Amino acid sequence: MQTTNALELENVRKTYGDPVTGHHALTGASFFVRDNEFFTMLGPSGSGKTTLLRLIAGFESTTSGEIRLYDKPIQSLVAE
C-alpha cells in the first residue's frame, strides 16, 4: 500500500522587499508530510516557522517554489 503525501513543499522561498537585497524569510524549504502523519516544526525565533505556516494557509504568497496539497498546487488559491 502506497502512502499519499498530504502536503509537499518544493524549494519554497519567501523574500520581503527587493528579491536581491530584501529580507529572506525562507530559502529553499522542501519537505513532505504523509497522509495521517503528525508533523512538528521546531526552531529558534526568526527561523521562518510562522512565515511557512502563513504560506501554507494562503495568507502570504511564495517568492518561488511550489506548495502542493494532495498533489495539487495551492499557491493560486485564496485563503478562504
Instruction: Provide the pLDDT for residue 3.
Output: 72
DSSP state of 55: H
CB 79 within 8 A of CB 59: yes
Task: Output the pLDDT for position 20.
Answer: 83
| Residues whose CB falls within 8 Å of the CB of residue 3, separated by 6 or more in sequence, listed in order | 34, 35
**Cell digits of residue 39:** 508533523
Interatomic CA distance for residues 19 and 63, integer angstroms: 8
pLDDT at 1 exceeding the cut of 80: no
The predicted structure's pLDDT at residue 37: 92
Three cell numbers written together for 47 = 527561523
pLDDT for position 78: 81
- Model pLDDT for residues 4-55, shown as the tens digit of each residue: 899 999 999 999 998 788 999 999 999 999 998 999 999 999 999 999 999 9
DSSP state of 4: P
Burial zone of 55 (CB within 10 Å; 0-12 exposed, 13-18 middle, 19+ buried): buried
Residue 2 has pLDDT above 70, yes or no: no
